[in-house]
A and B are shown apart, each in its own frame.
Chain A
Amino acid sequence: MEFGLSDTQRLFERALRNVLAGHVPLDALHRLPASGADLDAKLWAALTELGLPGVLVPETFGGAGLGTFEAGLAAEALGSFAAPAPFVGAAVMAPLAILRAGREAAQAAWLPRIAAGTARVAVALAGLDAAAGSTSVQRHGERLSGRLDQPIDLAGATHVLTALADGTIALVALDAPGVRVTLRASLDRTRPLGEVALAEAPAEILTAGDDGRRVAAAMLAAGRAMLAADTLGAAQTMLDRAVAHAQQREQFGRPIGSFQAVKHLCADMATMLEPARALVWHAAHAQDGRDDARLLACHAKAHLGEVGREVARMATEVHGGMGFTHELGLHYWFKRIGSNRQLLGGPEQCRREAAALQGWGTT
């Protein structure tokens, strides 16, 4: 038993952070278009080189063969840099669904392409309750019609994977006939939004029925754990920047970090984040098929949603007027934390599911 990073995990994290530091300077975030951002091809190529898209893909399919804990470390690193790269859907939820659905042909067809970075799969779970699935899409045999709202990782995606109310898990090519993609401006520019309209679009059915519902639940839980990790990284960056600013900015002839009011804001942020980090580790680790995977994912997602909101506000406050500007760019993390909170179910929703999982309450 060891609750912490191994040496290899540390190396993995460091390598990833080095790449991100090189590719995602503040300028890169400033250059992101307000709407319909495409994929940052250079960043994607660098991340692919590191094996990020195939982090969960077994080595036999050309992936890194790592676990959900390492995926969580990666999500945290991406959040630290507010990196505009597909990950939660494309590198975690989609491959996890394909793996858990267990069809060998589909695995052999898709996993190598996902690992190579050539198939980028967005994920749409329209209904938040995994059991209910997407409600606005109908299936007729191997064709889908309807609308997928706000798939995760839609920008630059080649495919979308969706979970329907009847348990169907289906994969649709975005360049197929009957498919129309519309990207929309998003609060969080690092994660463009959009929708996919389907009119009798051809789909590959990965699984269905109860098995599909089980896969959808596992995929949702893993996605939540990753969003929690992303928020952890983003919030840590905001705290680090607040501390650095408090050390260097002077007022009344002394660094503002020597004023207790400022000091205690920083202490409160650290006090929330340190235990939150351990919870995220545990939740990410559990997604590799542990019994408590769903409960831990709900808790981590909800808790990081709350902690993230507090840290985002406090760290902005420590920066004074500067913190409120576009130029400083702190807002990219503020908004990333905000979008992570809402995606795949906000804190109240996650807590309600956590209660149900424990048989607590009837309403």
Chain B
Amino acid sequence: MDLTYSEPHRALQAEIRELARTHGHLSPKQGGGRRRPDARTLAWQRLLVERGYVGRTIPREYGGHGAQPDVLEAAIIADELARAGLYPGIMSQGISMLVPTLLEVGSEEQRRRWIGPTLRGEIIWCQGYSEPGAGSDLASIRTRAVVDDGHFVVNGQKIWTSSAHYADMMFLLCRTEPDRPKHAGLSYLLVSMSTPGIEVRPLVTMTGRAEFNEVFFTDVRVPVDQIVLGRGDGWHVANLTLKHERLMLGDPSKLVHRVERIAELMARAGVDGERSIDRPELRDRLLRLQAEVLASRCHHLRLLTQRARGEDPGLAQTIVKYFGTTLGHRLSALAVDVLGAGGLAYEPRGEAAEDDEATTWQIDYMYDVGLMIGGGTSQIQKNIIAERGLGLPREPRAAPGRS
């Protein structure tokens, strides 16, 4: 246990503070992420990539910064950007899920082609896994692809596909080997969303906005070299991305920032002139959640240390998504309660403009439930924690679920 910063760490800290001073005004506002990045966001993202605050350990030849892995650097970057109120970079399925997956199992050509532009926010990806008949039981998907003249020809339907309405590319899980057992018959394809035969129909979510979609495939032709690993390896590749998705969804940086925002909200006088922070029952809830966010941050540092030492984090890693998304929802629930009846006006402004404070919290409060469902539901996470983390017996007879 050693929580001191080394000289290079202090230098990194100073460097980011300097960036905040000289370039802070260029940062887009926090939030967003549910729309295509605008010019301001793209410029900021490019700056973060150049400085190595995004894609820090990704090799230079793939468009990253090529730094050695270091336990603390990512945490320092997140902390310092948050402290200065700066946008921490685009959080997207492409950056958080596909990039690490390609680094692990992508071909050299795939890494060179996709990682750089994805990091810079130029290529937006969506995740084509869920289908009407296959959610938790992901391996039962039916969208199929057959090989014809150097192409996979895809037919079928995906659903709940976030960002598909503005994405450039999809990482698609489909069935290519129908004669093999359920899990062994899948393949993982990288598909351009502008390919003829793809139709995207936005679905309005409970927040009132179009956030995810149905995607229909009719004879969609994908070059055979756009497969990651080989035919039948799709389940393996999809599980790698899901591991990264779960870590992304449980990332504590966002939660730390939320505690600060709620404390600030509570310290302002409400409509009745009273401050929530002076109300013992509301303040107690804030403190309770602050302890858990602190725990989640410490846990994150512990996982980073384990990874740096090459130890198997086992159980500790399996709880991240369930813990983080549940905690996130309890935080937005407190914000909604603090706003009270005064927070019931709900006026989402769409993609073009910033939402007001109350609307933002109400959206988060609802969206957080979505996060508890997406990426493997809380119940599925608990199965994973109990079976893989604690070694309890697997479900008898039931087919293995989304994992």
A and B bind:
yes
B21: chain A residues within 8 A (beta carbon) = none
Are the C-beta atoms of A274 and B392 separated by less than 8 Å? no
Q: Does B143 contact A (CB under 8 A)?
A: no
Near A by CB (< 8 A), chain B positions 349-403 give 379, 381-383, 385-387, 389-396
Q: How far is the CB of A25 from chain B (nearest CB, A)?
A: 25
Q: Does B181 contact A (CB under 8 A)?
A: no
A354: chain B residues within 8 A (beta carbon) = 287, 290-291
**Interface size class for chain B?**
35 or more
Are the C-beta atoms of B298 and A275 separated by less than 8 Å? yes
Q: Does A176 contact B (CB under 8 A)?
A: no
Q: Does A285 contact B (CB under 8 A)?
A: yes
Q: How far is the CB of B59 from chain A (nearest CB, A)?
A: 24
Q: Does A260 contact B (CB under 8 A)?
A: yes
Are the C-beta atoms of B267 and A360 separated by less than 8 Å? yes
Are the C-beta atoms of A270 and B306 separated by less than 8 Å? no
Q: Does B25 contact A (CB under 8 A)?
A: no
Are the C-beta atoms of A3 and B319 separated by less than 8 Å? no
B6: chain A residues within 8 A (beta carbon) = 1
- Closest A residue, CB atoms, query B297: A278
Are the C-beta atoms of B379 and A246 separated by less than 8 Å? no
Are the C-beta atoms of B382 and A275 separated by less than 8 Å? no
Are the C-beta atoms of A303 and B292 separated by less than 8 Å? yes
Q: Does A18 contact B (CB under 8 A)?
A: no
- Closest A residue, CB atoms, query B326: A271
- For B1, give its contact among A257, A263, A275, A281 (CB under 8 Å): A281
B394: chain A residues within 8 A (beta carbon) = 258
Are the C-beta atoms of B287 and A243 separated by less than 8 Å? no
Are the C-beta atoms of A3 and B390 separated by less than 8 Å? no
A2: chain B residues within 8 A (beta carbon) = 1-2, 71, 305
- For A254, give its contact among B71, B306, B396 (CB under 8 Å): B396
Are the C-beta atoms of A267 and B301 separated by less than 8 Å? no
Bound Cα distance A6, B278 (Å)? 43
Are the C-beta atoms of A278 and B385 separated by less than 8 Å? no
- For A361, give its contact among B4, B277, B298 (CB under 8 Å): B277
A260: chain B residues within 8 A (beta carbon) = 379, 382-383, 395
Q: Provided the pairs A1-B2, A3-B1 are in contact, do residues A348 and B298 lie with their beta carbons within 8 angstroms?
A: no
Q: Does B147 contact A (CB under 8 A)?
A: no
Are the C-beta atoms of B2 and A303 separated by less than 8 Å? no
Q: Provided the pairs A1-B4, A263-B382 are in contact, do residues A270 and B290 lie with their beta carbons within 8 angstroms?
A: no
Bound Cα distance A281, B299 (Å)? 10
Are the C-beta atoms of A274 and B1 separated by less than 8 Å? no
- Closest A residue, CB atoms, query B6: A1
Q: Determine chain B's interface SS by DSSP, over half rule.
A: helix
Bound Cα distance A279, B294 (Å)? 7
A258: chain B residues within 8 A (beta carbon) = 392-396
Near A by CB (< 8 A), chain B positions 256-315 give 263, 266-267, 275, 277-280, 283-284, 286-288, 290-292, 294-296, 298-299, 301-302, 304-306, 309, 315
B-contact 0/1 string along A345-357, CB 8 Å cutoff: 0011001101100
Are the C-beta atoms of A274 and B315 separated by less than 8 Å? yes
Q: Does B151 contact A (CB under 8 A)?
A: no
B392: chain A residues within 8 A (beta carbon) = 243, 246-247, 255, 257-258, 262-263, 266
A residues at B contact (CB < 8 Å): 1-6, 9, 69, 243, 246-247, 254-255, 257-258, 260, 262-264, 266-268, 270-271, 274-279, 281-282, 285, 296, 299-300, 302-303, 306, 347-348, 351-352, 354-355, 358, 360-363
Closest 8 CB pairs of A and B: A278-B298, A279-B295, A275-B295, A267-B382, A3-B301, A351-B287, A267-B385, A263-B386
For the complex with contacts A1-B6, A2-B2, A271-B382, 18 further pairs of A-B residues with Cβ separation under 8 Å are A1-B72, A2-B71, A6-B1, A243-B392, A258-B394, A263-B386, A264-B382, A266-B385, A266-B390, A271-B319, A271-B323, A275-B292, A275-B295, A275-B299, A278-B302, A281-B302, A303-B292, A358-B263
B residues at A contact (CB < 8 Å): 1-6, 9, 71-72, 263, 266-267, 275, 277-280, 283-284, 286-288, 290-292, 294-296, 298-299, 301-302, 304-306, 309, 315-316, 319, 322-323, 379, 381-383, 385-387, 389-396
28 A-B Cβ contacts within 8 A?
Answer: A1-B6, A6-B1, A243-B390, A258-B394, A260-B383, A263-B383, A263-B387, A263-B392, A264-B382, A264-B383, A267-B382, A275-B295, A275-B299, A276-B295, A277-B302, A279-B291, A279-B299, A296-B294, A300-B291, A302-B291, A306-B288, A347-B288, A354-B290, A355-B277, A355-B286, A361-B278, A361-B279, A363-B278
